[in-house]
């Protein structure tokens, strides 16, 4: 199973309103490349060293270049 960072749109249904918001999530894919799992909450950058933190941020920036996924479409 592979994974990467992706921008995911979530819809929060509150009382009398509908609010969309976006976050960077870890998305996990089947062998066929279909998204099949996603983190519930957005993730933040991290690393054991400054270089690892920079690389993690670079991966997250790459997510902004890909199509946005809808949270409700991922099982």
pLDDT tens digits, 52-64: 999 999 999 999 9
DSSP, residue by residue, 3-53: EEEEEEEEEEEETTEEEEEEEEEEEEE-TTS-EEEE-SS------SSHHHH
pLDDT band, very low/low/confident/very high, at 15 (cuts 50, 70, 90)? low
pLDDT value of residue 13: 67
- pLDDT above 90 (res 44): yes
Coil vs helix vs strand at 64: coil
pLDDT band, very low/low/confident/very high, at 18 (cuts 50, 70, 90)? confident
- Percent of the chain at pLDDT > 70 equals 93
Tokens 């819809």 belong to 11
Rounded distance, CA 25 to CA 32, Å? 20
| Domains held by the chain: number | 1
Q: Which residue has the higher pLDDT, 3 or 20?
A: 3
Which residues span the domain enclosing 37?
A: 2-73
């Amino acid at each position: 199973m592979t994974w990467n960072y992706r921008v995911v749109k979530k819809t929060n249904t509150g009382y009398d309103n509908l609010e969309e918001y976006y976050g960077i999530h870890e998305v996990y894919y089947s062998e066929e490349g279909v998204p099949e799992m996603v983190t519930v909450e957005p993730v933040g950058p991290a690393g054991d060293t400054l270089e690892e933190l920079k690389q993690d941020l670079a991966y997250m920036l790459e997510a902004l270049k890909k199509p946005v996924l809808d949270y409700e479409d991922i099982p």
